[in-house]
Each structure stands twice: as C-alpha cells, then as structure tokens.
Amino acid sequence: VPHPLPAAPPGVPRRHPEPLPGCPRWPGGASGRCPPQDAEIVRTRDPQRLAGCDVLVDVGGEYDPGRHRYDHHQRSFAESMRSLRPDKPWSTKLSSAGLVYCHFGAQILAALLGQPEDGPVVTALYDKLYENFVEEIDAMDNGIAPAAGEPRYALSTTLSARVGHLNPRWNDPEQDTEAGFRRAMELVGSEFLERLDFYHRAWLPARALVEEAVRRRLEVDASGQVLELPQGGCPWQEHVFQLERELALPRPLQLVLFPDRGGQWRVQSVPAAPHSFQSRLPLPEAWRGLRDEALSELAGIPGCVFVHASGFIGGHRSREGALQMARRALELGGGTEGT
C-alpha cells in the first residue's frame, strides 16, 4: 500500500490509529523523487501493514531515505538539517516532518512556484520556510524548548497546539481520530501554502527595496545609520540583518523611516537581533508614551504624533519631521533600551 504526498504537499500528522499528536507531519518521499501523489495514506503501527507500504513516515524505527523510511524515534537518530546538509546552519534535531522537508522541500516548492529547483527563489524560500515553519515543528516534536529557563508565559496557540486540539477529548464517547486527522491535513496544508505565498509575494520582493535603501542610506543621513523605505513598511527586519552581513556595513543600522497607510511617517528602531523585542536604539526615554503637542514641545520638533511606551517606534506628520526625530535620537543615544 503506497504512502504518498497528497495533492497539496504539506500537512499530514502521524500515520497510526493513536490520538493525533501535537505536531503535524509531512508525507514522505525518497532520496530520488516524491512518490505518486494519488496513493493511499495508511495510519497504522501494525508491522505487517507497514511492510507493505512504499514509504514510512514517523513509524518503523528507521531512517533510510534510500528505502523511503523516515522515522526519528530510534535512539540512534540524531540528525539535523546541518548534519544532513552541511551548507545549512540549523542544528535542531529533525522530526519526521523535518526529514521529509530536508529531502523534498525544494522539489515541493519548485512544483508549487513553477521555479527551478536549484534557482535563487526556491533556495531562498526553502531556507525561510524551514527557519520559520518547519524548525518549530521539529523542536516541539523532540521536546526542545525555545529558550532556557522558565517561560514567562504560556504559548498555547502554536501550530502544534492547534493540531493537538483536534484530538478527541479524553471523555468523548467516540474516540475515532480519522476526522481530526483529515482536519489536521487541511489546517497545516493551508497554513503552509499561505506562508509560502506571503514569503514569495511579499517578503522576497521586499529584499530588493531594502537593499536599494541600504545602498542609498548616506543620502538620508551622513551617519549611514538611518534607512528610508519610501514605499512603506515592507517586511524589512530580517533583510536588514542579512544585508548588513553580506555588505559588511561599517556601522550598524539603527533606525528606519517609512510612511504609514495614512500618509504620516514612522521612525522605528532596528531590533537588537532577529526575533528580539530589544531595540538597538530606542527613541529617547523622555519621549516615550507622549503624544502630539506634549511630545512636540518636549522634543523640540513640531508635528510629532506619538512615541510608543517602549521607545521602539514613533510617528510624525511628515517625512522631514520623522527624520529629525531619528537624528535627535542618534544625538541623544536613545536612553536606556526598550523591551
């Protein structure tokens, strides 16, 4: 009995009749090409039934891509994206989802996007989707916490948690998991495709805009630390970090100017690190939490609109005023870091 990819590539949980897990699973592939997409999905731990399957994912106690075996539960398994693909930086232990993505993610993306498998678009999106979609699944399934120490608050709405809620409740008279399994496929599949669409049509095109802004930064301010995005607030943060490394900028970028949808302008601090709530240069502490005339009078810049209580972002009625706020923040050093 084959064990294939469904028509829409991502999003299949465990293939056995136990309650649905907290993490989704991609359907399996092999070391060559993906198996037929019209084959039957079998959910079982029965060794005899498993022996008749062409591809095993998350069961079987074996990782052997040459034989279509993609389990990660065996004690001997310690593979990561980096160990299987040394050109990749991620060292999180792979789940079966990550194994299949490692071997077949590029092929899946190429088919969905109509792009060459080894082209720059697929290469960039393969990395982006692993880091921002698949790696979390790998870590959750392997019991790897996102940070050391006691968490400050509960994360209860992750993709893994939402799939887990599709399990029958412990006291439901009907304990059939098949309906939840089908809903999980639809849930994870749709989220994967939506995330891919965003990265392809919004995040990736933003890189060219950010790169142009980086190259023109000295035209905005002589410090070279203020970036202007005249097209608006496109996804810029991750591109900034990457371009700083690639272009070996002599001084780190500190503040970004861009117009909002209402025609006013924002000045926002570059985060201290990717995914960080800390700012490299928060707006001055004395400005934080103030608005309109009170803020304009204190800053000495007419037309100010607001500064967030943490100092990570502020607003002005005009581009010139936002630039003045940025320059004043550079002069004053931003005070203590915001959170």
pLDDT at residue 15 is higher than 50: no
User: Given a cut of 50, is residue 23 above it in pLDDT?
Assistant: no
What the block records as the tokens of 72 is 């990660």
> For the chain, what is the radius of gyration of the CA atoms?
24
Q: Where does the pLDDT of residue 135 fall: very low under 50, low under 70, confident under 90, or very high at 90 and above?
A: very high
- What gap in Å lies between CA 294 and CA 299, rounded to an integer? 9
Confidence of residue 37 (pLDDT cuts 50, 70, 90): low
Contact between 208 and 31 (Cβ < 8 Å)? no
The pLDDT, as a whole number, for residue 40 is: 84
Q: Count Cα neighbours of 56 within 13 Å in the Cβ-side half-sphere.
A: 25
When pLDDT is cut at 50, 70 and 90, the band that residue 41 belongs to is confident
Q: What is the pLDDT of the chain when averaged over all its residues?
A: 88
Banded model confidence at residue 29, pLDDT cuts 50, 70, 90: very low
Instruction: Give pLDDT tens digits for 210-257.
Output: 999 999 999 999 999 999 999 987 999 999 999 999 999 999 999 999
Q: Which range, of 18-27, 107-116, 128-137, 161-170, averages the lowest pLDDT?
A: 18-27
What amino acid is encoded at 28 in this protein?
G
pLDDT at 122: 98
Question: What values do phi and psi take at 11, rounded to 5?
Answer: 100, 45
**pLDDT-derived band at 18, boundaries 50, 70, 90:** very low
For 60, left (φ over 0), alpha (ψ -120 to 50), or beta? left
